[in-house]
Amino acid sequence: MSNSKIIIIGAGPGGYVAGIRAAQLEADVTIIEENQIGGTCLNRGCIPTKSLLASTEALLLVRRASELGIEVGEATPNFSRMMERKNRIVSGLRGGVDYLLKANKIKVIKGKANFLDSHKIHIGTDAGAQKLEGEKIIIASGSKPGTLPFIDFDHSAVLTSEEALELKKIPKSLLIIGAGVIGCEFSSIFNPLGTKITMVEMMDQILPTEDKRIAQAMQQILQKREISIFTKTKLEKIIEYREDGITARFDNGEEVIVEKILISVGREANTEGLGLENLSLKVSKEGNIIVNEKMETNLEGIYAIGDVVGGYLLAHVAFEEGIVAAENALGIDSKIDYTSVPNCIFTSPQIGTVGLTLDKAKEEEIEAKLTRFPFAASGKAQAAGEKDGFLQLVVEENSGRILGGQIIGSHAADLIHEIALAIRWGLTTEQVASTIHAHPTLSEAIMEAAKKAEGKPIHLK
């Protein structure tokens, strides 16, 4: 039996970052990865979807080129080339992570990890079984797409987000079950390609975890693009599975016939087969591993990070959790801070949110107000032809402290970080309003919203 000071299960965003940080602290690190380095984010999530979205956004831009004074011929998507580009980007980035692990002298074993006890791991590999013992273990096994028990996932018409990224041709019609982040992003990929899309969401709004004003604005945009949306509606059953598609019935009596159905009802912690039954590890009723602010589980020497702990299922959160876990495993007192986590939704237009919504602030009995600036009033947005959407700040009434922010509009995923920084360091609207912002830029909208909160609006009445 070989020995390793730090064993990490999973080479996704949390796992490989934890490994690099541990190696920087001069630990002997071994990472066990069952599938591909980079995890879901790099291989089957964040990166491939953004690659395809870049293609469809370019398609939309070409189609409205005449608005910008440019005459072009008809723009036609080449789906196979889009997918080839996506695969090339993923492969290149995966190679980059592999290089970083090797440069940091981190050993990677491809295989399935299974706990024998709190320090010993059985690894099933193609070359046979082996055992590994470590002083500290970090579980970073990620998550998998959620399923519905009455759906035949073996049928070719039924997709999860992972199968949707491997399609060979553009579906003529697509039923999306779940209008959360994943569902809305895929609608933004396939709608410009000509797919007729129907979305079904059981909650009373699309993007159920987002501010209702943002969700309403996005729903209006999607409906203008002729996407059919049913809220407060459930998929009741699949009436018929056919070679060319399915017929589905909703609980409101509606029936649809589509070529493909995408199930995007969230994600589940990937703990199956890890041997957690051999440990007295505490898990939630949802199956997530319970940790504290140091990413420690209830068992000394065992940590968990990323999607497997639930909460924020975001790669950038897993990055930070990986650093915190590695540092604590090696004797550095480190704690995670979730107060200013930016959440980005890569729809068209983008959505960026951070901190509290106005409704959440009220739930917490905080006296707060909302201040908004529309991109239609932005010189840069008008010049770029990207005036849809708005930016809003949630501000504490008495102190003027910025508690949250929500953006829907062009480059929202980039703009949100100024608000995140303001929340992280307790900045007020007066401080942001008095900071000179370059003109013309989209980021001026943050300053303008702050000035409005101070009762000193310049480009708004």
The residues annotated as belonging to the active site are 439
Helices (H), 104-139: none
Residue 127 CB contacts under 8 Å (≥ 6 apart), including other chains: none
421-459: b (≥16 Cβ within 10 Å) or e: ebbeeebbbbebbeeebeeebbbbbbbbbbbbbbeebee
For tokens 């879901």, name the residue.
Answer: 40
d(CA 241, CA 156): 9
Helices (H), 2-127: 13-24, 39-44, 46-63, 79-103
Q: Which segments of 213-266 are extended strands (E)?
A: 228-231, 235-242, 245-250, 255-258, 260-263
- Enclosing H/E stretch for 396: strand 390-396
For tokens 């039924």, name the residue.
Answer: 158
Residue 255 CB contacts under 8 Å (≥ 6 apart), including other chains: 239, 247, 248, 249
Residue 427 CB contacts under 8 Å (≥ 6 apart), including other chains: 401, 402, 421
